[in-house]
Amino acid sequence: MNAFDVIIIGFGKGGKTLAAEFAKRGRKVAIVERSDKMYGGTCINIGCIPTKTLVHQAKIASGMEDSTFEERSAFYRNAIAVKESVTSALRGKNYHNLADHPNVTVYTGVGSFVSADVVSVRTSTEEIWLTSKQIIINTGAETIIPPIEGVADNSLVYTSTSIMELTDLPRRLVIVGGGYIGLEFASMYASFGSQVTVLESYPELIAREDRDIAASVKETLEKKGIVFRMNAKVQSVKHVENRAVVVFSDSQTDEVFELEADAVLLATGRRPNTKDLNLKVAGVETDARGAIIVDEYLKTTNPNIRAVGDVKGGLQFTYISLDDYRIIREDLFGDKERKTSDRNPVAYSVFIDPPLARIGLNEDEARKQNLDVIIKKLPVMAIPRAKTLGETDGLLKAVIDKNTGKIVGCMLFAPDASEVINIVAMAMKTGQDYTFLRDFIFTHPSMSEALNDLFS
Ligand SMILES: Cc1cc2nc3c(=O)[nH]c(=O)nc-3n(C[C@H](O)[C@H](O)[C@H](O)COP(=O)(O)OP(=O)(O)OC[C@H]3O[C@@H](n4cnc5c(N)ncnc54)[C@H](O)[C@@H]3O)c2cc1C
C-alpha cells in the first residue's frame, strides 16, 4: 500500500491548487484523475476555457453577416481547432505543474473509497491502493442526461462537452434547456451562423433573474434570430436519416410539435459526481441532490475527509472551487478565519452576447425580504462607450437599500459586464455606499463609467 500525507481525488481547480500547496510545504501528495483528457479539470478542458474561447470566436463570426453558410462553417471549423489548441496546451501545463513536482504522484484512474483512509485507483491496467489520514474529494459535476426517449446513443444528440468536438457547424441546432449553459451555447451558435431554437420547460426564461433583465436578455437574443419555445416538454428525439426530429408538447395546451435539427444539445443541468466514490464506506454523506454535505470549513461528515468544488453542491463556478482551496489552506496552515459562510454575495457572469453579470439580490428578492429599496436602471443605449462599440442592446439595474445607502444587488446585461461586475462586487464587499460608485472617477469612454450614471 502506498502511503501519503494527503490524497486528492479529482484534478479540479481546488484540488490541484491544494496539491501544489501541500507539495510546497513538503507533504507527500497523491492526486487521482480518472481521465488523461481531464488534467486540470472541467474548467480548462470542457468548461470555462473552451466555451469562452468559442464565445470569442463567435463574436468575430457575428461580423460575417454577408458570408455564405459554407464560409461560416469553415470559420467555425477553425474556431474548434483554436479551442483545441488552447485547451490541450493548458492540460499539458496543468499536468506537468504537478507531475513534475517531486512531492506529487499523479495517478490516472478512477478513485473510490475502500475504507475511510484507503482509496483504490483503477487504472487502465491495474488496481492500486493508496492510504492517508487526510483525503480531499474534488470530483466535480457531470451533465444530467434527461430520460427522453431516443437520446441515448443518438449520434445527433450532444452534451456541452461533445458539441465542442463537433467540427461541422449545424445549420439547425435545437437546445433542450434555457438555463445559463443553454443560453451561452444558443448565443454562441447563433453568432457562428446556426439557426437556434431553445426549448424551455418553464413559462419564463431564466426565472431566477430579475424580470426586467430577463426580458432584455430574451429580446436581445431573439434579435440574433434565436427562437424560444416556452412550456416545452420534450418527449423524444428521433434519428431520421441524417437529421434529428425533436418531438415536444406545450405543457399548457398539450399541443404536440415536431422540430427538425442537425444537432440537439442537452443543457438540462449538472449533478455532483459521486457515483464511483463508494462514499458510504468512508462515512461521507450526501444530501437529497447527491451533493456531499460539508461544514463551513469543508469537512464532510467524516472530519478527515473534505470536499471542494462542484461535488459539494451550491454555486458551480471555478472561482468557488478556488476559494474552497483558500478555506482549507487557512484552516490547516493559517488563522482559520476563512469560511464558506463569509463568502456571500458572490458575483457571476453568463457569457451570452452581450454578457449578463449579477451580484446580490434582484428587485423581487429584495422586496420579498421587505427591504425598503431604491431601484436604478440605465439602458445600455445611454452609455457612450456602448455607442463607440456599436453595441447598444441591454440594461443595467441596481437595487439599493434606502435606509442604509448600501447596494444590495446589481445586474448588468451589457458589453464588458463580466468585468464591470467585479467593481460593483468590490464596492459591496468593502461596505461602500452607492454614492461611492456614483461619484467615482472612471476613465472615459469605458463601460465602468456607466456606474456613475446608474447610481446617480
Ligand atoms: C460548459 C461549461 C461552461 C462553464 N463556464 C464557466 C465559466 O465561464 N466560469 C466559471 O467560473 N465556471 C464555469 N463552469 C463551471 C466550472 O467549470 C466548474 O464549476 C469547475 O470546473 C468545477 O471545478 P471542480 O474543482 O469542482 O472540479 P472539476 O474541474 O470538475 O474536476 C473534477 C475532476 O474529477 C475527475 N473525477 C471525477 N470522478 C472521479 C473519480 N472517481 N476518480 C478520479 N477522478 C474523478 C473528473 O474527470 C474531473 O477532471 C462551466 C462549466 C461548464 C460545464
The answer to whether residues 209 and 358 touch, using CB atoms and an 8 Å cutoff, is yes
- What does the pLDDT read at residue 419? 98
Whole-number Cα distances in Å, 125 to 46, 110, 122, 128, 278: 26, 12, 8, 10, 21
- What does the pLDDT read at residue 282? 98
Tell me the average pLDDT across 201-218.
97
Tell me the average pLDDT across 91-99.
98
Q: Confidence class of residue 135 from pLDDT cuts 50, 70 and 90? A: very high
Q: What is the mean pLDDT of the chain?
A: 97
406 Cβ neighbours under 8 A, 6+ residues apart: 400, 428, 431, 432, 433, 434
- What does the pLDDT read at residue 415? 98
Ligand 1 contact via 347 beta carbon (within 6 Å): no
Annotated catalytic sites, by residue?
444
The answer to whether residues 57 and 82 touch, using CB atoms and an 8 Å cutoff, is yes
The answer to whether residues 230 and 200 touch, using CB atoms and an 8 Å cutoff, is yes
In angstroms, the first-to-last Cα distance of the chain is 65
Tens of pLDDT, residue by residue over 210-267, are: 999 999 999 999 999 999 999 999 999 999 999 999 999 999 999 999 999 999 999 9
- What does the pLDDT read at residue 1? 81
Look at residue 363 and tell me whether its pLDDT is greater than 90.
yes
Residue 79 CB neighbour total at 10 angstroms: 23
Mutate to test the pocket of ligand 1, among 48, 164, 349 (most ligand atoms within 8 A of CB): 48
d(CA 249, CA 258): 9
384 burial via Cβ count (<10 Å: 0-12, 13-18, 19+) = middle
Ligand 1 centroid to Cα of residue 273, in Å, is 9
Tens of pLDDT, residue by residue over 367-416, are: 999 999 999 999 999 999 999 999 999 999 999 999 999 999 999 999 99
Residue 153 CB neighbour total at 10 angstroms: 7
Ligand 1 centroid to Cα of residue 203, in Å, is 30
Ligand 1 centroid to Cα of residue 43, in Å, is 5
Tell me the average pLDDT across 138-144.
97
User: What proportion of the chain, given as a percentage, has pLDDT over 70?
Assistant: 100
Ligand 1 centroid to Cα of residue 123, in Å, is 21
Tens of pLDDT, residue by residue over 290-333, are: 999 999 999 999 999 999 999 999 999 999 999 999 999 999 99
Question: CA 65, 70, 72 angle in degrees (round to 5)?
Answer: 40
- What does the pLDDT read at residue 309? 98
Tens of pLDDT, residue by residue over 34-46, are: 999 999 999 999 9
- What does the pLDDT read at residue 403? 97
H helix count then E strand count, the chain: 13, 24
Tens of pLDDT, residue by residue over 1-20, are: 899 999 999 999 999 999 99
Phi, psi of 173 (to 5 degrees): -115, 130
Ligand 1 contact via 218 beta carbon (within 6 Å): no
Mutate to test the pocket of ligand 1, among 9, 35, 37, 42 (most ligand atoms within 8 A of CB): 42
Tens of pLDDT, residue by residue over 162-197, are: 999 999 999 999 999 999 999 999 999 999 999 999
The secondary element (H helix, E strand) that includes residue 196 is strand 195-199
Look at residue 283 and tell me whether its pLDDT is greater than 90.
yes
